[in-house]
Amino acid sequence: AQAKGLMPEILVSEGGPDLGGRRLARRLVASGLVVRFLYDAALVDAVKRADRVWLGTEAIGQRAFVGRLGTRAVLERAQELDVPSVVLATSDKFTPDGTTSAPSWSEEEPWHLWEGAPHGVTVESQSFESVPLELAGLYATDEGLFGAQELTRRASRILAASRA
């Protein structure tokens, strides 16, 4: 879009406890793009201003992928509003056994949510969720673009090959 002289505004959220959205926003601005930065909690409402939704993932399995908390709600809203969505991933995100689970490090590091929480407060710091593959329109990987059904077949073949 930028090469065609268009100046799209990129909506980027904070990116969970590691604030990865800040790093992304800095890189996008350095590339000459216009960025609007917002809270993760504002993303569902922001979908109505978007002409497409792009999300990353920690892992892709046979039936689901792992995204930041709120990913499911953003994709449901995108479907509701007919906003195309794409999950971006490198092929190393495909799980060899076809299953997905939220990363344990997120639960094991409650300081991401509240460092020094007082005695009596239990901090639930898991910042990831499992999202059904069907919620995203496409999956863009270094091996090409895939729909959910093709991704499921691909994961089945990878799983079968790993068991052989």
Instruction: Report the distance separating Cα 43 and Cα 64, nearest Å.
Output: 21
Q: Who wins on pLDDT, 21 or 107?
A: 21
Q: Who wins on pLDDT, 102 or 24?
A: 24
| Residue 120 neighbours by CB distance under 10 Å | 5
At 162 the pLDDT is 66
At 45 the pLDDT is 97
Q: Kindly state the average pLDDT of the residues 158-164.
A: 66
Q: Who wins on pLDDT, 136 or 163?
A: 136
Q: Kindly state the average pLDDT of the residues 42-64.
A: 93
Q: Who wins on pLDDT, 107 or 52?
A: 52
Sort 57 into a burial class: Cβ within 10 Å, 0-12 / 13-18 / 19+: buried
- Residue 159 scores a pLDDT above 80: no
Q: Are 32 and 111 in contact (CB under 8 A)?
A: no
- Residue 106 scores a pLDDT above 90: no
- Residue 154 scores a pLDDT above 70: yes
Please report, to the nearest 10 degrees, the dihedral formed by the alpha carbons of residues 14, 39, 87, 24 taken in order.
-30
- Residue 163 scores a pLDDT above 80: no
At 20 the pLDDT is 87
Confidence of residue 158 (pLDDT cuts 50, 70, 90): low
